[in-house]
Amino acid sequence: MRISKGALLVVVALLVPFVVEFRTALSWFGIKLTILESLALAGVLVIGLLLWAVWPENGNGGTGTADSS
Amino acid sequence: MATSPPTEVTAMRNAYVDQFPDEARVIKAAFWSSFIALAIGGTLGLVQALHRTDVFRFIQSPDYYTVLTAHGVLLAITFTIFFLVGTFTWAVTTSLDRGVVDVRFTWAWYIMMVIGTVLVAIAIFSGFLESAPSVLGSELNADVLFTFYAPLEAHPIFYIGLVLFVVGSWLAGVDWFRTWLAWRSENPDERIPLPTFMVLTTTLFWYICTFGVALSILVFLLPWSLGITESVNPLLTRTLFWYFGHAVVYFWLMPAYMMWYIMLPKFSGGKLFSDPLARVVFVLFLLLSTPLGIHHQYLDPGIAEGYKFIAMTNTMFLLLPSLLTAFTVVASMEHGARQRGGEGYLGWLKALPWRNPIFTGMALAGLMFAAAGFSGMINAGMNINYLVHNTWWVVGHFHLTVGTAVALTFMAASYWFIPQLTGKELWNRSVALGQVLLWFIGMTFMSNAMHRSGLFGMPRRTAEPQYQGFDFEPAVGTVGEINMQVALGGVILTLSLALFLLNMIMTSIGDDSESIPDNTYAGTLSGAEDSPRILDNLKLWTAIAVVLVIIAYTLPLASIIDAGGLFGPGIEGVRLSTWVDPAVIESLGEVIR
Amino acid sequence: MSSKTEQREPEHVQTLGHEEYDPIGTAILIGIYFLILVLLWIFMYFVEFLGNGPTVVGMALTVVGLA
């Protein structure tokens, strides 16, 4: 784990405002997302985040030193 | 600073309940009063969110305003202030290391506040009855909203209840001052400990600001509702309300600030960055909390622009202590993170104890408060305020401040306080972490959508903001989507509230535990010895605060009374011109304008 | 300072005093916050405030026009 489970949960929660308002921001550039597309984007972001978090650091897998709960 | 070598096992439990068992009982009672208000008020919030957005309507629209009044009064007054008196009593006794002078007095003011609350609640909730009983010659109801100024009129019981509640809080202040004076006579040369300093400065500005609302109720609204006087000057009661109405938001914010200063650094694993800076912040709040209430009245006719400009200037100055707080609190968190091995420019953030619901709740509350700082700046600006005045934007703003910065901090702090006060371990830390995260997510949806609704002019305090022949035009998306965000946010918040209450109940009925941490608060990197002695001169700061209030309010009040009469235009009451030559007011007014 | 502020912190890897500690991360975060504040304020003033017609008068005319 690159970050602790607690921190991971907090980052996922912090994604919510960004996903909600990203849709508003994009529309200023003429890109209109539907709600489903926003949800899909959120899903991709969360999965990406999870993959990043569980990916072993520097290739030497699973030392798990960063878990500071 | 005395530091003992780290020990893994405590020989004997040293929680608050072991140190001050009598005080712990009162504080526990105050917290439970606060939680009951939170439970009722929060549930009513869901009713409003679903009704306004037309997602689910099961009450009549006229009853919406009864719900709104109960929601506002129970959450903004009862929940916050009961929690405050509990926290402040804890802070005074813990930091002075002595009990209150007489715990019977403590119980007396607590019971007085409870009686006041019950009277207020009876008056408000009678509004739901088909035919409310007639008491004291008029029908019981109080659909006057949290902002209870004229022309809306409540039953006298409502005003009497409010007076009892506020006087109870004044006596609580007397209790804290007495305890401090008793401590000072034993420790004449010591600096006031920081938590007690925070309590005393906050209490002082509470005395200054509640003077206005006491005047408004006792001289104008109560005699009016009893039929003793025939009318009131509505602008005068509005101005007196807002004289109190903005300072009260700092009153309920100060215990949250106190938690961020003296608890958050501890939970981050560090120390408070600067004791002097914290004292400066609280002195600034004492000075500036009251002389700016007119910034709630930018759109009131009858108050000259010049007075509004003075209020705006004071408001902008008040951004300073909040920005100082942002720096000090984040720097204290960074100190903790680096002591826990955090590194890099921003990498230290990973080393913070995010698994701890107390820390995470307070940190997220602070983050939301930073966002509220932005919408607050928009509210404070005289011209740009016109864009959002009386719209749902303002509701979005104060759900970030009192609804998150304060409420979420209180809930997170409860996860620490209730074990301290009961000697029982928190029922479930994971549920607690989920609860604070859900509150953050729910408020993101609800508050963000409220802000955006305000931008396209959707009004606040309205049961049915749906109009025939007129459609709101959001810049992006549809009104339906925005309403759905509000409803979704409301549901998530209610779920979070239920989880909080469940955790509190399960903790309270749990078994005694020996593993409760000691009752301590954060140490300081730069302590009281580094702060100038003059900061502790409470008389000086109070005198300056009073002078500032006189400067900001004398002329506006004089011109309001001069234009509209003390008891309304139709009544020849005491007119100010009998004491002061109107020409003087006029010429002074010209200077201001 | 009294024993009220003593800490036992098993997760500490180092102790930083007043002299060794430089809150650079805080400075960065506050800097980012200021940047957001300024950008949002500019957006609110120039786009939302000046970009729309007079709110109160404009709305009243619309309603009156339809009534």
Check residue C64 and give its pLDDT: 41
Point out which residues pair with B272 in neighbouring strands.
Answer: B524
Residue A64, domain member (yes or no) = no
Region of residue B425 (left: phi > 0; alpha: psi -120 to 50; beta: else): beta
Which pLDDT band, with edges at 50, 70 and 90, does B8 fall under? Answer: very low
Q: Is the pLDDT of residue B418 over 90?
A: yes
In a domain, A63, yes or no: no
Length of chain C: 67
Q: Which residues contact B521 (CB under 8 A, 6 or more apart)?
A: B94, B95, B195, B262, B263, B266, C4, C5
- Nearest C-alpha of chain B: how many angstroms from C4? 5
Question: What is the reported pLDDT for B585?
Answer: 59
pLDDT digit string, tens, across residues B202-244? 999 999 999 999 999 999 999 999 999 989 999 999 999 999 9
Residue A60 lies in a domain: no
Structural domain contains residue A34 = yes
Report if residue A11 sits inside a domain.
Answer: yes
Evaluate whether B525 touches C20 at the Cβ level (below 8 Å). no
- Angle, helix B357-380 to helix B305-339, in steps of 10 degrees: 160
pLDDT, one tens digit per residue, over C21-36 is 999 999 999 999 999 9
Q: What ipTM does the predicted assembly reach? A: 0.85
Q: Which residue of B has its CA nearest to C11?
A: B340
With an 8 Å Cβ cutoff, are C14 and B341 in contact?
yes
User: What's the domain count of chain A?
Assistant: 1
Among B242, B252, B285, B333, smallest CA distance to B553 is for: B242
Q: Which residues of chain C have pLDDT under 50?
A: 1-2, 57-67
Dump the DSSP string for B421-488. HHSB--S-HHHHHHHHHHHHHHHHHHHHHHHHHHHTT-BSS-S----TT-----SSS-HHHHHHHHHH
B64 is catalytic: no
Q: List the 359-378 stretch of B: residues with Cβ below 8 A of A.
A: 360, 364
Nearest one of B385, B418, B500 to C55, comparing CA atoms: B385
Nearest C-alpha neighbor of B412 from the set B355, B360, B353, B487: B360
A65 inside domain: no
Measured between its terminal Cα atoms, the distance across chain B in Å is: 54
Q: Is B481 on the interface with A (CB under 8 A)?
A: yes
pLDDT, one tens digit per residue, over B535-593 is 999 999 999 999 999 999 999 999 999 988 888 875 554 444 445 555 655 666 666 65
How far is the alpha carbon of A17 from chain B, nearest alpha carbon, in Å? 6
Tell me what pLDDT residue B58 has.
95
Q: Tell me the shortest Cα–Cα distance from A44 to chain B, in angstroms.
A: 18
Is residue B31 annotated as part of the catalytic site, yes or no?
Answer: no
* A51 lies in some domain: yes
Strands (DSSP E) contained in B128-276 are 134-135, 138-139
Q: Do B377 and C37 touch (CB under 8 A)?
A: yes
Cis upstream peptide for B276 (omega within 30°): no
B21 φ, ψ (degrees, to nearest 5): -60, -35
Q: How far is CA B336 from CA A56, B66, B426, B436, in A?
A: 26, 47, 24, 21
Q: A34: domain range?
A: 5-55
DSSP B231: -
Q: Specify whether the CB–CB gap between B337 and B352 falls below 8 A.
A: yes
A5 touches B at CB < 8 Å: yes
Q: Which carries the bigger pLDDT value, residue A34 or residue B61? A: B61
pLDDT digits 0-9 by tens, B273-287: 999 999 999 999 999
Q: Which residues are within 8 A (CB) of B301 and not within 5 positions of it... i.e. 6 or more apart?
A: none
Among C4, C16, C55, select the one facing B387 at the smallest CB separation: C55
Identity (one letter) of the amino acid at B554?
A: T
Q: Which of B158, B241, B282, B398 is catalytic?
A: B398
pLDDT at residue number B583 = 63
- The fold adopted by the segment(s) B16-592 is Cytochrome C Oxidase; Chain A (1.20.210)
According to DSSP, residue B178 is labeled H
